[in-house]
Amino acid sequence: MGISFWNYISGDMAIDLGTANTLIYLKGQDIVIDEPSIVARNSRTGQIIAVGNDAKEMLGKTHQDIEVIRPLKDGVIANFEVTEGMLQGFIKKVKISRIARPRMVIGVPTGITEVEKRAVKDSAERANAREVFLIGEPVAAAIGIGLEIDKPVGNMIVDIGGGTTEIAVIALDGIVTHESVRIGGDEMDEAIVQYFKREHNLLIGERTAENIKCEIGSATAVEEVTMAVKGRNLIAGIPKTIEVTSSEIREALRDTVDAIVQSVTESLEKTPPELSSDILDRGIILTGGGALLKGLDQRLRDETQLPVNVAENPLLTVAYGTGKVLENIDKYMSVLT
Ligand code: ADP
Ligand code: MG
Q: Which atom of ligand 1 is nearest to the CA of 22?
A: 4
Pocket test for ligand 1, best of 164, 167, 212, 214 (most atoms within 8 A of CB): 214
Mutate to test the pocket of ligand 1, among 135, 210, 220, 287 (most ligand atoms within 8 A of CB): 210
Q: What is the pLDDT of residue 1?
A: 46
Residues near ligand 2 ion, CB 5 Å cutoff: 18, 161, 318
**The ligand 1 atom nearest the CA atom of 159:** 6
For residues 70-79, give the mean pLDDT. Answer: 74
pLDDT at 280: 78
Which residue puts its alpha carbon closest to atom 23 of ligand 1? 214
279 pLDDT tier (thresholds 50, 70, 90): confident
Highest mean pLDDT, choosing among 6-20, 64-78, 138-152, 303-317: 303-317
Our answer on whether the CB atom of 256 is closer than 6 Å to any ligand 1 atom is no
Confidence of residue 27 (pLDDT cuts 50, 70, 90): very high
| Averaged pLDDT, 35-46 | 93
Q: Is 18 in the pocket of ligand 1 (CB under 6 A)?
A: yes
What is the pLDDT averaged over residues 145-168? 88
pTM > 0.75: yes
* Residue that wins the pLDDT comparison between 325 and 179: 325
CA of 116 to the centre of ligand 2 (A): 17
**Which of 192, 292, 313 most suits a substitution to test ligand 1, by most atoms within 8 Å of the C-beta?**
292
Average per-residue pLDDT in the chain? 90
Q: Which ligand is nearest to the CA of 315?
A: 1
Predicted local confidence at residue 170, as pLDDT: 86
Mean per-residue pLDDT, 315-334:
95
Pocket test for ligand 1, best of 16, 17, 19, 106 (most atoms within 8 A of CB): 19
Using CA atoms, how far residue 148 sits from 106, 113, 239, 273, 323, in Å, is 20, 27, 53, 20, 16
Ligand with minimal distance to 290 CA:
1
Please indicate whether residue 212, judged by its CB atom, sits closer than 6 Å to ligand 1: no
Q: Is the CB of 290 under 6 A from ligand 1?
A: yes
Burial of residue 47 (number of CB atoms within 10 Å: 0-12, 13-18, 19+): exposed
Span 294-315, pLDDT tens digits: 999 999 999 999 999 999 999 9
The predicted-structure confidence for 96-146, as pLDDT tens digits, reads as follows 877 888 999 999 988 788 888 998 999 899 988 999 999 999 999 999 999
Lowest-pLDDT choice from 57-66, 124-133, 240-249, 313-322: 57-66
